[in-house]
């Protein structure tokens, strides 16, 4: 069938909107009509050419919501008409990782996903005889896409597509990093570096978890009011700090008889490896945990003095907020429908597919929090 897609033709070039061909679902696969998709910084990261797994041409996009329109042989967990969110982290429930109960990083289809193809090793997208790669197993920058059954979460059919698409990545990543990865407790102190589409969801997760002091750090002063809207208690712009940002943050978080500063939990939501180091070193001596959420390009490495770890700080990372997609994503949609979490204000721009490159421009300028393409 013919579908409309924004194709990443070459690294560093704008997406090109065109008609491409999509094959129907094979065994164990589902065809989805994508109704809406968010634009995440990770799409930009891959489009920029910094992603070591980046393949071109590809149909990017991994933050979607839509309706099942066809299913392949053997599909039992979803049917035509179901509302679903595509999962770049699937949940097969039978691989060693799923069975371990220690991680959400299902391994059932990760290798073919990284090669831009479906689990059978072929692509469903093409232009004439030329194949187009899938991306993160989702390719939501097309109005129809094909996914394996294990990579779709069935959600409440009353939930609006143009809002819940954000649960396909940003909301779940930010809120999940707090709840599943850091397991933040009531009364904790926290520092969030980078108040974009992910960082604001970390803040809302911290508020939900009952954190007391929530410090937001961003080089863009416009983010102060955004952070405050979701529960941030203090804002720091590192460009306006005299001296070392880490010492500044440690000073702000001094408490107790020994007056040792540092936050119980810190989160990097920038993808900048220098910021990741600051986040680790701003965590409290003895127990502070720093969670890396940001994704950094090929060749980038993180560094710190081992002393930082010897003295009890913990460095960890999270993908998709530690969420098990088919189990947790429907619950997060319900939290949204029940008013437990907020999404609407973060969706600052609604675009047509033809205007998708404007969404990337607004991400670069800091004008948007999340742009959503509605088909």
- Chain length of the chain: 375
Start-to-end CA span in the chain (Å): 17
**DSSP alpha helices (H): ranges in 134-272?**
161-164, 170-176, 199-209, 223-229, 245-252
Q: Select which of 16, 23, 33, 95 is catalytic.
A: 95
> Which one, of 220, 224, 136, 222, lies nearest residue 173 by Cα?
136
Contact with ligand AHE (CB under 6 A) among 52, 256, 299, 339: 52
41 is catalytic: yes
Q: Check: CB of residue 59 under 8 Å from CB of residue 20.
A: yes
**DSSP-assigned states of every residue in 75-90:** --S--TT-EEEE-SS-
| Residues within window 166-195 making contact with ligand AHE, judged by CB under 6 A | 169
269 is catalytic: no
138 is catalytic: no
82 binds ligand AHE (CB under 6 A): no
106 is catalytic: yes
Contact with Zn ion (CB under 5 A) among 6, 40, 279, 323: 40
**DSSP alpha helices (H): ranges in 120-244?**
161-164, 170-176, 199-209, 223-229
165 is catalytic: no
53 binds ligand AHE (CB under 6 A): yes
42 is catalytic: yes
Q: Select which of 29, 37, 46, 63 is catalytic.
A: 63
| Residues within window 161-180 making contact with Zn ion, judged by CB under 5 A | 169
> Which one, of 137, 135, 168, 182, lies nearest residue 65 by Cα?
168
Provide the binding-site residues for ligand NAD, judged by CB under 6 A.
Answer: 40-42, 45, 169-170, 173, 193-199, 217-220, 223, 238, 269-272, 275, 293-295, 318-320, 363, 366
* Minimal distance, residue 128 CB to Zn ion, in Å: 30
Q: How far apart are CA 237 and CA 220, in angstroms?
A: 7
89 binds ligand AHE (CB under 6 A): yes
Catalytic annotation, residues: 40-42, 62-63, 92, 95, 98, 106, 110, 169, 370
């Amino acid at each position: 069938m013919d579908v409309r897609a924004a194709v990443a033709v070459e690294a560093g070039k704008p997406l090109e909107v065109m008609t491409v061909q999509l094959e129907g679902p094979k065994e164990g696969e589902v065809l989805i009509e994508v109704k809406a998709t968010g634009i995440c910084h990770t799409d930009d990261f891959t489009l920029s050419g910094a992603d070591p797994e980046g393949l071109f041409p590809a149909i990017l996009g991994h933050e979607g919501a839509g309706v099942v329109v066809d299913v392949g042989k053997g599909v039992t967990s979803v049917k035509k008409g179901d509302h679903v969110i595509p999962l770049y982290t699937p949940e097969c429930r039978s691989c060693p990782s799923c069975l371990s109960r220690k991680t959400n990083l299902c391994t059932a289809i990760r290798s073919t996903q990284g090669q831009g193809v479906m689990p059978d090793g072929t692509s469903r997208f093409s232009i004439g005889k030329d194949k187009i790669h899938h991306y993160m197993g989702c390719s939501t920058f097309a109005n129809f896409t094909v996914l394996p059954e294990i990579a779709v979460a069935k959600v409440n059919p009353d939930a609006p597509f143009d809002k819940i698409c954000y649960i396909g990545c940003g909301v779940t990543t930010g809120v999940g990093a707090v709840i599943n990865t850091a397991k933040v407790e009531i009364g904790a102190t926290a520092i969030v570096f980078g108040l974009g589409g992910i960082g604001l969801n970390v803040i809302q997760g911290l508020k939900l978890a009952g954190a007391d002091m929530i410090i937001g750090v961003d080089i863009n002063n416009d983010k102060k009011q955004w952070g405050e809207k979701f529960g941030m208690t203090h804002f720091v712009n590192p460009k306006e700090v005299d001296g070392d940002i880490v010492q500044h943050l440690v000073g702000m978080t001094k408490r107790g008889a020994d007056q040792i500063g540092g936050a119980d939990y810190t989160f990097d939501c920038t993808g900048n490896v220098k910021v990741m180091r600051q986040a680790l070193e701003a965590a409290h001596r003895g127990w502070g945990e720093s969670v890396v959420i940001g994704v950094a390009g090929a060749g980038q490495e993180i560094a710190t003095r081992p002393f930082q770890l010897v003295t009890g700080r913990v460095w960890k990372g999270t993908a998709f907020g530690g969420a098990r997609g088919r189990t947790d994503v429907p619950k997060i949609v319900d939290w949204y429908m029940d008013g437990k979490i907020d999404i609407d204000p973060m969706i600052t721009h609604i675009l047509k597919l033809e205007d998708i490159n404007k969404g990337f421009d607004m991400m670069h300028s800091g004008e948007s929090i999340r742009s959503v393409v509605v088909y």
